[in-house]
Structure 1
Amino acid sequence: MTRKRLMAMGTGSRTRAAVLAAGALLLGTVALPGSSAAEPRPQAVRISAGAPALAPAAATCDTGTSLTPSTDDSGPNVQRIRKRGKLIAGIDTNSDLWGFRDPATGNLQGFDIDLVHALAKSILGDANAVEFLAVPTANRITALQSGQVDVVVRTMTITCDRLKQVSFSVPYFDAGQEVVAPKSSPITGLDDTVKGRQVCAATGSTGLDLLKANLHGAKVFTVANQLDCLVQMQLGNVDATITDNALGAGQVAQDPTIHLVGGLLDHEVYGVAMKLGSTDLVRRVNAAMQDFLANQWTAEYSKWLKPLGASPGAPVPHFAG
């Protein structure tokens, strides 16, 4: 996106969204500095509750259970991280509340960023022993498969298809897909009101899969990262977005002219992703996750995710194997 087009968007929250999106495009997959402790100041937004509007596909796997935790550091994957002296984490840099660079300071902030620091503290004894790499939505799995990163902590939904490609920790957040649209729009959800309209979703996202399966006559518009959809809505290039409600809330927090509509379309859970078969690392991460969910999750929700509404409480971890 050109500087001229970004400047045309004006000031305030829209400029912030554009700066975040442009920064992510420029960063690609490069190492980034650590986060600050500053809290965001987003507006309060509504998160729909109740049953999903679309019946989810029949489950063919257990997305809520992961390997039994272990603090044994002798496994090959954990040893590689410890010998290196840092955890390499694939993260997002343009999702408000979750993982973003503060335009004023250049520091990384958000719930997922703090989770990475907690993993580093548990595995390496140093919360700052982290190298962050910005990874686009579509590149999350290949970044793990190639060994470019040790973990991906990027609001990544655990799905049966993805479990065939990567390994996951226990879930750390419950979410679901929802439609984001301008308040002035007649769009009421993923229904016939999107017929003939441009609907945006990130490549490689579960939102894109859901949209393609329930088009209702919509035209699909794809981008590399979900915040790019917000910029495209602001520029008038798309009419609506499908994304995780938790990410949609971040978009709404940045731009008060848009809102979440139609209610939840499905139910999803986020997990920390690792290379398929890295059993020792999965167990070690789950040990850190067990502590994070029990002792830190509530404070992190209050710090970052209050715009989503009252805390639902940390997910209860389930282990097997």
Structure 2
Amino acid sequence: MRKKTFFSYLVLVLAFIGLTGCKTNNVADLDILETSKSSNEIIWGVKNDTRLFGLMDIPSREVKGFDIDIAKAITEKLLGRDGRATFVEVTSKTRIPLLKNGNIDAIIATMTITEERKEQVDFSEVYFDAGQSLLVEKGSPITSVEDLDETTTALVVKGSTSAVNIREASPNARILELENYAEAFTALQAGQGDAMTTDNAILLGMASENSNYELVGGTFTEEPYGIAINKGQENFLDAVNAALREMHEDGTYDEIFDKWFPDDDSGKVD
């Protein structure tokens, strides 16, 4: 009797394995371009705390910025005027895991193209040229990255390339890592650090919030931004790149760029 029960249980287990093996392992394995056309929606991972690129507007409860408008324009190019661009908040730590799990279709979130990240995701063509810089209080003795030493503390965001770069540029400086840009800027204003470092475009947005702070020393890295798309989604990647090229040709890109950066075209991609 016990042998019969065990045999029946084994048959059920094997049948279950066979059935589940026939299903798609992950929603991320689906053809994103086709599923987007079917649902008339593209789900974008964006920042909600980055002024000028992706910042939550409290009165309207809508996230606004350069990245948001670029995503909306790409969505319209791919799906038409009725296509929906849906935005999901990501951080530097969560954006790749959310993409790999299929929770979002693409990342447009001030994400620097690096060789290390290329091992996990594919990138679109560059849509913004950035470079890492320093944000300090006006009158600070720190005027460049060379001024950071063992007596100074630099504030960075966890999981960002900025943390890696500043350790290389100023190996003796103390580094304090925060969860996001808002926390890092708050810490800077509270005196918990002597300088905040990340891409100059992000720091410009912070300096525009508080005139007591300024960027110093120019840029000490090149940080080209790309749209991250999961591996194996070549059709979607090609479509996004085609949309970006069309936006350059018809003036859509310039219009969006000038809206958010009217006084500085250093990050514009020709």
Task: Look up the match of 1:296.
Answer: 252
Contact residue 112 and residue 161 of structure 2 kept, 8 A:
yes
Task: Look up the match of 1:34.
Answer: none
Please tell me the root mean square deviation across aligned C-alpha atoms, in Å: 1.7
Percent of aligned positions that are identical: 30
Q: Does 1:115 align with 2:57?
A: no
One-letter amino acid matched to 2:256? E
Task: Look up the match of 1:164.
Answer: 119
Q: 1:261 to 1:127 in 2, by over 3 A?
A: farther
User: TM-score if structure 1 supplies the norm length?
Assistant: 0.71
Q: More helix by proportion, 1 or 2?
A: 2
Pairs aligned (count):
240
Q: 1:191 to 1:312 in 2, by over 3 A?
A: closer
> In the TM superposition, what is the alpha-carbon distance from 1:195 to its structure 2 partner?
2.9
Alignment of 1:1-321 (within 5 A): 76-126=31-81, 129-294=84-249, 295-307=251-263, 309=264, 311-312=265-266, 314-316=268-270
Deviation sequence 1:167-211 (CA, Å, 0-9, x none)? 111001111000111113211221234432221111121111101
Deviation sequence 1:241-269 (CA, Å, 0-9, x none)? 11001111011111111111111101121
Runs of at least 5 residues in structure 1 that lack an aligned partner in the other structure: 1-74, 317-321
User: TM-score if structure 2 supplies the norm length?
Assistant: 0.84
Q: Once structures 1 and 2 are overlaid, which stretch shifts more, 185-194 or 105-114?
A: 185-194
Contact residue 133 and residue 197 of structure 2 kept, 8 A:
yes
> In the TM superposition, what is the alpha-carbon distance from 1:136 to its structure 2 partner?
0.7
> In the TM superposition, what is the alpha-carbon distance from 1:313 to its structure 2 partner?
7.9
Contact residue 197 and residue 218 of structure 1 kept, 8 A:
yes
- SS state at 2:122 partner: strand
One-letter amino acid matched to 1:297? Y
Q: Larger relative CO (CA 8 A, sep 6+): 1 or 2?
A: 1
Deviation sequence 1:210-232 (CA, Å, 0-9, x none)? 01223342111111222321111
Runs of at least 5 residues in structure 2 that lack an aligned partner in the other structure: 1-29
**Whole-Å Cα distance in 1 between the matches of residues 107 and 80 of structure 2?**
20
**Whole-Å Cα distance in 1 between the matches of residues 267 and 108 of structure 2?**
20
